[in-house]
């Protein structure tokens, strides 16, 4: 064998050996980077005093980018115009902050970046970075701490702004509607606690806002608000709790419009309870009207007859101290046709009425033309009542276990506002066996009556409710098996509903308590639960 051939064979064997070793495993590229970026230096340095420039640069040891900076960056006190932050989209090894506002003298400013500063590759966040400087000789070092909770719901919003307004010679109650606060922070997205840092000694108004427009002023139509009932003194070793709620705005009628023939839509803001709507034009002696509410919308419908031969008219709307006149221009449109819907379909719960809903206001129900038969073809006696605002008849009757019921509504049983009647309607429902449901007996400890007790799901949807005016066991019978949270509303004004607060009147929302653990409702089970209220 020649030396040349031996050399060639050695090379082939070596190559095969290398390939074999390579096939045993594929390099992983190393462990995943979990280390956040580090700050090398800042110009000027963090916590500088006698600040007089308009540019700040913060340098990092690797390429970084800014994530959700619009949500996370909080500047306290707010600057107007806001500072310019670079870069917004590209990766960089530094953050450049250009100040556009004229800074106040002897004031400590804080730029809270939250967790918006992340490394370029794995997006590891620099945790809650704050850059602080003072235009005076010292850095203010006092703090206000606490928590924000939703007043009505078990679930609290994220990114809630918490603000302080100095109570001085310039303070007035309307300041939250017109001016930005002196100091501000937020709760970010993972906690309900807050800390407003680097503030001066003094007396303050403490307010929380869940804003729609992020302009740090309160808009009652869109924003939630919470406030501490008294002015606070700083320094003071107190943890403050704020309850967040939607104010009920004052009632206001908006411009009406013709929705259909002899049907006018009146949009509104606020609560329409006890509102009256009256036409100011001359009307015939047989003129009449009805008012219904559009489902899931802030709109009332004004139905009228006979048709009015007018180009326009005015309506006067009255509610308590509200009084307004609105102009309406008539349009020639076809009238709605009557449609009737019976609910529910399929299963009827034991505590649930049958509902007959109409597209035009009902004026008459002829009981002799509506029959309910059970599965043995026996007539079932029932009672009925009309919810005129929702235009729904509620049909109540005693229900048997695991029974089927057939409902027959003959022609002319229902008549609407314009004299239309129904066609024949056949409808069937059935009840389940008692064993398919659950019962819960609830005992309250430390309750102040009256209270509204509700069973709600994880999203705060109400499934069952009981109004309790005395100390007694609360029984929820034949309820659908699932996990519920127990919600207790302290009905202070005894009006049968939860009432939110009002900032200007310094009225807090009515108290709500949730049981921390959910109540397990299981089929053919009747747990007894004790809820001790704080």
pLDDT tens digits, residue range 49-71?
999 999 999 999 999 999 888 88
Residue 466 in this model has a pLDDT that exceeds 70: yes
Point out which residues pair with 245 in neighbouring strands.
225
Residue 14 in this model has a pLDDT that exceeds 70: no
Q: How many CB atoms lie within 10 A of CB 394?
A: 15
Query: Cα(329)–Cα(265) distance, rounded to whole angstroms?
Result: 12
For residue 131 the two structure tokens come to: 């850059």
Indicate if the alpha-carbon torsion angle 365, 367, 369, 374 is positive or negative. Answer: positive
The pLDDT value given to residue 30 = 56
- The domains spanning 39-134 and 435-532 adopt the same CATH topology: yes
Across the range 278-289, mean pLDDT stands at 96
Residue 10 in this model has a pLDDT that exceeds 90: no
Residue 11 in this model has a pLDDT that exceeds 80: no
Read off the pLDDT band of 323 (50, 70, 90).
very high
Specify the higher pLDDT residue, 32 or 246: 246
Domain boundaries, the chain: 39-134, 142-244, 252-329, 340-432, 435-532
Residue 4 in this model has a pLDDT that exceeds 70: no
Residue 492 in this model has a pLDDT that exceeds 70: yes
Q: Which CATH number fits domain 252-329: 3.30.465.10, 1.20.58.1610, 2.60.40.10, 3.40.50.300?
A: 2.60.40.10
**Least trusted range by pLDDT, from 57-71, 334-348, 438-452:** 57-71
The pLDDT value given to residue 114 = 84
The pLDDT value given to residue 34 = 82
CATH number of this structure's domain 340-432: 2.60.40.3710
Mean pLDDT of the chain: 92
Residue 13 in this model has a pLDDT that exceeds 80: no
Query: Cα(63)–Cα(94) distance, rounded to whole angstroms?
Result: 8
pLDDT tens digits, residue range 182-240?
999 988 767 799 999 999 999 999 999 998 887 889 999 999 999 999 999 999 999 99
Point out which residues pair with 342 in neighbouring strands.
356
Across the range 111-135, mean pLDDT stands at 91
Across the range 141-152, mean pLDDT stands at 96
Which residues lie closer than 8 Å to 437 by C-beta, 6 or more apart? 350, 477, 478, 479, 480, 481, 523, 524
Share of the chain above pLDDT 90, in %: 83
Query: Cα(197)–Cα(206) distance, rounded to whole angstroms?
Result: 13
The pLDDT value given to residue 1 = 47
Across the range 167-179, mean pLDDT stands at 93
Is 39-134 a domain of CATH 2.60.120.10? no
Is 142-244 a domain of CATH 2.60.40.1120? yes
Residue 410 in this model has a pLDDT that exceeds 70: yes
Query: Cα(112)–Cα(473) distance, rounded to whole angstroms?
Result: 50
Q: Count of residues for the chain?
A: 534
pLDDT tens digits, residue range 413-423?
999 999 999 99
Indicate if the alpha-carbon torsion angle 68, 71, 76, 78 is positive or negative. Answer: positive
Which residues lie closer than 8 Å to 108 by C-beta, 6 or more apart? 132, 133, 134, 136, 138, 139, 140, 198, 199, 200
Share of the chain above pLDDT 70, in %: 94
Which residues lie closer than 8 Å to 74 by C-beta, 6 or more apart? 111, 112, 114, 161, 184, 185, 186
The pLDDT value given to residue 212 = 86
**Residue 118 contacts residue 33 (beta carbons within 8 Å):** no
- Give first-to-last CA distance, the chain, whole Å: 97
Query: Cα(255)–Cα(492) distance, rounded to whole angstroms?
Result: 35
Is 435-532 a domain of CATH 3.40.50.920? no
Across the range 86-109, mean pLDDT stands at 93
How far, CA to CA in Å, does 141 sit from each of 108, 169, 312, 472? 9, 24, 65, 52
CA-nearest of 123, 61, 46 to 94 is 61
For residue 162 the two structure tokens come to: 């918490």
The pLDDT value given to residue 534 = 82
């Amino acid at each position: 064998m020649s030396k040349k051939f031996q050399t060639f064979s050695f090379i082939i064997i070596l190559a095969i050996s290398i390939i074999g070793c390579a096939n045993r495993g594929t390099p992983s590229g190393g462990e995943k980077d979990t280390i956040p970026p580090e700050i090398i230096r800042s110009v000027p340095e963090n916590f500088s005093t006698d600040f007089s420039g308009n540019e700040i640069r913060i340098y990092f040891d690797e390429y970084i980018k800014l994530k959700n900076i619009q949500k996370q960056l909080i500047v306290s006190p707010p600057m107007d115009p806001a500072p310019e932050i670079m870069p917004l989209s590209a990766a960089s090894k530094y953050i450049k902050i250009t100040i556009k506002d004229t800074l106040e003298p002897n004031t400590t400013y804080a730029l809270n970046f939250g967790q918006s500063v992340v490394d370029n590759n794995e997006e590891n966040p620099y945790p809650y970075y704050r850059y602080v400087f003072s235009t005076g000789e010292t850095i203010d070092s006092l703090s206000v701490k606490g928590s924000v909770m939703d007043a009505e719901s078990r679930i609290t919003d994220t990114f809630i702004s918490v603000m302080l307004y100095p109570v001085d010679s310039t303070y007035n109650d309307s300041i939250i509607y017109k001016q930005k606060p002196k100091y501000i922070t937020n709760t970010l997205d993972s906690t309900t606690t807050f800390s407003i840092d680097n503030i001066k000694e003094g007396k303050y108004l403490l307010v929380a806002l869940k804003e729609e427009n992020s302009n740090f002023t309160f808009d009652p139509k869109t924003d939630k608000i919470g406030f501490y009932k008294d002015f606070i003194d700083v320094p003071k070793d107190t943890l403050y709790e704020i309850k967040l709620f939607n104010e009920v705005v004052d009632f206001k009628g908006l411009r009406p419009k013709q929705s259909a023939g002899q049907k006018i839509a009146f949009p509104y803001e606020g609560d329409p309870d006890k509102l009256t709507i009256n036409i100011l034009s001359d009307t015939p002696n047989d003129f009449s009207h009805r008012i219904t509410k559009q489902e899931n919308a802030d709109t009332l419908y004004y139905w009228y007859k006979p048709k009015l031969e007018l180009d326009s008219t005015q309506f006067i709307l009255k509610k308590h101290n509200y009084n307004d006149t609105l102009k309406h221009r008539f349009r020639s449109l076809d009238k709605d046709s009557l449609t009737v819907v019976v609910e529910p379909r399929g299963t009827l719960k034991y505590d649930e009425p049958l509902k007959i809903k109409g597209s035009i206001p009902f004026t008459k129900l002829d009981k002799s033309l509506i029959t309910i038969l059970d599965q043995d073809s026996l007539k079932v006696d029932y009672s009925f009542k009309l919810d005129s605002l929702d235009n729904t008849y509620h049909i109540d009757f005693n229900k048997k276990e695991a029974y089927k019921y057939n409902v027959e509504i003959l022609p002319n049983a229902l008549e609407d506002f314009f004299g239309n009647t129904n066609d024949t309607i056949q409808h069937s429902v059935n009840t389940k066996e008692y064993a398919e449901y659950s019962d819960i007996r609830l005992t309250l400890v430390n309750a102040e009556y009256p209270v509204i007790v509700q069973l709600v799901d994880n999203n705060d949807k109400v499934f069952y409710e009981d109004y309790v005016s005395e100390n007694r066991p609360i029984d929820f019978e034949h309820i659908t098996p699932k996990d519920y949270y127990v919600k207790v509303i302290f009905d202070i004004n005894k009006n049968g509903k939860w009432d939110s607060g009002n900032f200007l009147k310094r009225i807090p929302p009515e108290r709500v308590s949730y049981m921390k653990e959910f109540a397990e409702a299981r089929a053919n089970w009747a747990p007894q639960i004790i809820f001790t209220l704080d």
